[in-house]
Amino acid sequence: MKDPNNTRNTAPRRGSPLWIYFVVVILLGIAASGTAFLGLSGADLDALAGTPVFWILGCFIVFGELRPIITPGSTENNGATTSTTFAFAALLYAGLPLAAALQVIAVITCGILRGRTPHRIAFNAAQYSLSLAAAQLVLALAGDLATPTRLWVPDGGDLPVIALAGTVYFICNDTLVASAVALHERVSLIKALRWDLGYQVLVHLALLGLAPLMVVAMDRSAVFVPLIVLPFIAVYLNASVSVRREHQALHDGLTGLPNRKLLIVRTEEALAEARGTERRSEGGRRAPRFRRGRGARAGEPANRRAGLFLLDLDRFKEVNDTLGHPTGDRLLQLVAHRLTHSVRPGDLVARLGGDEFAVLLPTVRDEAAAREVAARLRAALSEPVRLDGMSFDLEASVGIALFPDHAPDFELLLQRSDVAMYNAKEARTGVEVYSPGKDRNSPARLSMLGDLRRAIDRSELELFYQPKISLHDGQVVGMEALLRWRHPDQGLLEPEAFLSIAEQTYLMRSITHYVVAAALAQTAAWWREDLAVQVAVNASGRDLLDTGLTETIEEGLLARGLPAAALQLEITERILMNEPAYASDTVAKLAELGIPLSLDDFGTGYSSLVRLKRLPVEEIKIDASFVGRLAESTDDAVIVRSIVDLVRTLGLRSVAEGVEDPQTARLLREMGCDAAQGWHFGRPMDAATATDWLRRRMERAPEPAA
């Protein structure tokens, strides 16, 4: 199987310092191996061919080279190669010719199976041969020189010599690789040696330390050799489980793409590269490392910019709701496949949730190059899709933000690519690069956005509750949940002060999910006290684009044992009119779940009777701008009466907002309005105050609202 990290594994430029170094190391490796093999006698060759334990060692070395132990945080390029133990054991037991031959065979086999280039295979083989030759020289100076016909089994007194030989092996191996890295990335040798030095020392200490035990086992009986391998198998299996768990924590379960957590890590690494804090070559992204004991990869173009795309599928909900969730999931998997095969090598595609994807470009030349990548992504997605016997087209809107041009960190990059993506969606241009002129966020508002992001983590957001009262009998028909922010410096802020900022960003999704969870938790608490009241939550236009909103509500209701009728969603008339392709599908899905829906701010939009009749709502809320002037304006009174009559004809419930005095409440009751809310009945209250208010209200006998 081809090594996925080997995409850019091209040979160094002929005549370059790295090319010269490769040639020198390969020639020295050939010379060391050749000298060792020339010293073999006919008896030695017969022993090599006829001793079963040598064949067993060879199999273990090949297997150890093919299947390194990869732990969380490491990769195949720097994982622990168990072939080190067996090769060093072969060196101690039978000398350099056997160890070098088996290791070279393993490197060539692994290189061919993984599709590595010849120069990399040759360097790896030479690197191992030289390291083993250096260790052999130490053993020879100590008088412990083994051959295939004169096997050597160390005792306790030989451990210092073996430790020295192992140290020389490690130093030689690490220096050879670090020198290649230093030349490749144009840094000092000392700096290259310090990279993951602690990990490599620990790994080699464990692997080389097992070699003498392997020799003792081999000398006793070949049957003991597999027993030595059992601990390796246990470590390998445990490491595999840990890696799988890490993969699950950092990847999306449906598409297998990196999730937001991994995207943050990779973006921070890319930004550090672009800033130059970890730069290995002028202005560029650090090239992939040489693997300790595995070889090198060639360089990559240097650049100081990084890019982050946010990509949202257009009209995905239509497909998802028409063909069902299984088909929608298959479609998302297809989209993930197309995206990952359309980006450049080294770019990262992540799924943020629903039909939103992110693409990280660790290096990008300029805005024009970023647009080219985005155009290629859209072109790949626009290819006709055929699922369940139906053929349809996909389109996507892409927002682009570049570092350092548009933002200095991940959060702002994501926020500004989000702004650009919604500009692309609104303008129907397909691709937009972030432009400050199109961003409605001022520096002060951006500062507040950072505070708001931290406010979610610090639990500074809070729900207040305002009652809705029946105008016929005075009973409580519901409580509307209203979001407040207890800002540490500015005090209690109402939604108008901060939600307009959040609605332009991916942060709005987190806020909505928090509000839904908090409202359901409070509703469940009230229902446990026999205060069975319906709680209404406002949904923004951004919320209706969130494919996970319905699932979040459904899971929250089930977790708290609440019926669907316990929660109501209020959606403004303007949103439904401006986003019909998205909102109508989402609203229908919520209605199918049994969530009562309310059409908020009615009268401020442009609803047609046909449209209004089709909407799956049970309640119409008359906007406060009409209700507030009801007693003074004849025109407003006519409008309100007409709305009440229309709502009654449609079989829906009418609720008047902004009722602040008894006269307005009386006029509404005379018009036949069903319910009302406003300061006349109760101001927004925090959870504790609202609970006390509900207890007192429900203990009183019902009476017409004054």
The encoded tokens of residue 405 equal 């041009």
For the chain, what is the mean pLDDT?
79
Per-residue confidence (pLDDT) for residue 388, from 0 to 100: 65
Helices (H) and strands (E) in the chain, counts: 27, 16
Per-residue confidence (pLDDT) for residue 360, from 0 to 100: 93
Tell me, yes or no, if the two domains 17-250 and 445-697 fold the same way: no
pLDDT in tens, 247-262: 667 788 888 888 888 8
Around Cβ 341, how many Cβ atoms within 10 Å? 9
pLDDT: is 179 or 15 the higher one? Answer: 179
The encoded tokens of residue 444 equal 């002060």
Q: State yes or no: pLDDT of 591 exceeds 90.
A: no
pTM over 0.85: no
Q: State yes or no: pLDDT of 597 exceeds 50.
A: yes
Do you know the residue count of the chain? 706
Per-residue confidence (pLDDT) for residue 470, from 0 to 100: 92
Query: What residues does each domain of the chain span?
Result: 17-250, 262-280+303-439, 445-697
Stretch (H or E) spanning 422: helix 410-427
Q: State yes or no: pLDDT of 329 exceeds 70.
A: yes
Q: State yes or no: pLDDT of 290 exceeds 60.
A: no
For strands 390-392 and 619-622, give the pairing. Answer: unpaired
- Nearest Cα to 464, choosing from 541, 531, 518? 518
Q: What is the DSSP letter of 400?
A: E
**Rounded mean pLDDT of 215-219?**
80
Angstrom distances, CA of residue 433 to CA of 366, 376, 377, 423, 424: 11, 15, 15, 9, 9
Q: Quickly state the pLDDT bin for 288 (edges 50, 70, 90).
A: very low
Per-residue confidence (pLDDT) for residue 568, from 0 to 100: 92
Highest mean pLDDT among 215-224, 325-334, 504-513, 533-542: 533-542
Q: Identify the three-state secondary structure at position 93.
A: helix
Around Cβ 185, how many Cβ atoms within 10 Å? 21
**Of the given ranges (132-141, 225-234, 268-277), which has the lowest mean pLDDT?**
225-234
Per-residue confidence (pLDDT) for residue 56, from 0 to 100: 74
Instruction: Report the alpha-carbon angle 557-562-567, nearest 5.
Output: 75
**Of the given ranges (148-162, 499-513, 548-562), which has the lowest mean pLDDT?**
499-513
The class that CATH gives domain 445-697 is alpha beta
- Nearest Cα to 596, choosing from 535, 514, 682? 535
**Of the given ranges (62-71, 579-588, 664-673), which has the lowest mean pLDDT?**
579-588
DSSP string, 161-180: HHHHHHHHHHHHHHHHHHHH
Cis before residue 404, ω within 30 degrees of 0? Answer: yes
Around Cβ 245, how many Cβ atoms within 10 Å? 11
| Residues sharing a CB contact under 8 Å with residue 330, sequence separation 6 or more, in sequence order | 387
Buried b / exposed e across 445-484, counting CB within 10 Å, b at 16+? bbebbebbbebbeeebbebbbbbbbbbeebbbbbbbbbbb
Q: State yes or no: pLDDT of 185 exceeds 90.
A: no
What's the rounded Cα separation, in Å, for the pair 524 and 531?
Answer: 9
Per-residue confidence (pLDDT) for residue 234, from 0 to 100: 65
**Rounded mean pLDDT of 585-589?**
71
**Rounded mean pLDDT of 606-633?**
75
Per-residue confidence (pLDDT) for residue 404, from 0 to 100: 87
Q: Identify the three-state secondary structure at position 348.
A: strand
Per-residue confidence (pLDDT) for residue 607, from 0 to 100: 54
Around Cβ 349, how many Cβ atoms within 10 Å? 24
Q: What is the DSSP letter of 57?
A: H
Cβ-contact 630, 636 below 8 angstroms? yes
In 196-290, which ranges are continuous DSSP H helix? 197-209, 211-220, 224-250, 260-275
Question: Phi and psi for 228 in degrees, rounded to 5?
Answer: -65, -30
Per-residue confidence (pLDDT) for residue 523, from 0 to 100: 95
What's the rounded Cα separation, in Å, for the pair 14 and 17?
Answer: 9
The encoded tokens of residue 95 equal 């000398």
Residue 432, amino acid: E
Q: Tokens 């004169």 correspond to what residue?
A: 150
Question: Phi and psi for 186 in degrees, rounded to 5?
Answer: 60, 50
What's the rounded Cα separation, in Å, for the pair 548 and 213?
Answer: 56
Question: Phi and psi for 404 in degrees, rounded to 5?
Answer: -95, 10
The class that CATH gives domain 262-280+303-439 is alpha beta
Q: State yes or no: pLDDT of 9 exceeds 70.
A: no
Per-residue confidence (pLDDT) for residue 90, from 0 to 100: 84
pLDDT in tens, 501-552: 777 677 788 888 889 999 999 999 999 999 999 999 988 776 776 667 888 8
Per-residue confidence (pLDDT) for residue 526, from 0 to 100: 94
Helix pair angle (118-141, 17-38), 10° resolution:
50
pLDDT in tens, 386-407: 776 666 677 888 999 999 888 8
**Of the given ranges (300-309, 570-579, 671-680), which has the lowest mean pLDDT?**
570-579
Cβ-contact 627, 633 below 8 angstroms? no
Around Cβ 11, how many Cβ atoms within 10 Å? 13
3-state helix, strand, coil in the chain (%, to 5): 55, 15, 30
Would you say domain 17-250 falls under CATH 1.10.579.10? Answer: no
**Rounded mean pLDDT of 459-481?**
92
Q: Identify the three-state secondary structure at position 12.
A: coil
Put residue 115 in one of left, alpha, beta given phi > 0 → left and psi -120 to 50 → alpha: left
Estimate to the nearest angstrom the gap between the alpha carbon of 221 and the chain centroid: 51
pLDDT: is 73 or 573 the higher one? Answer: 573
Per-residue confidence (pLDDT) for residue 601, from 0 to 100: 75
Q: State yes or no: pLDDT of 608 exceeds 90.
A: no
pLDDT in tens, 424-454: 887 778 899 998 767 765 566 667 777 888 8
Q: Identify the three-state secondary structure at position 657.
A: coil
Q: Quickly state the pLDDT bin for 703 (edges 50, 70, 90).
A: low
Q: State yes or no: pLDDT of 7 exceeds 50.
A: no
What's the rounded Cα separation, in Å, for the pair 557 and 551?
Answer: 10
Q: Tokens 């699932």 correspond to what residue?
A: 551
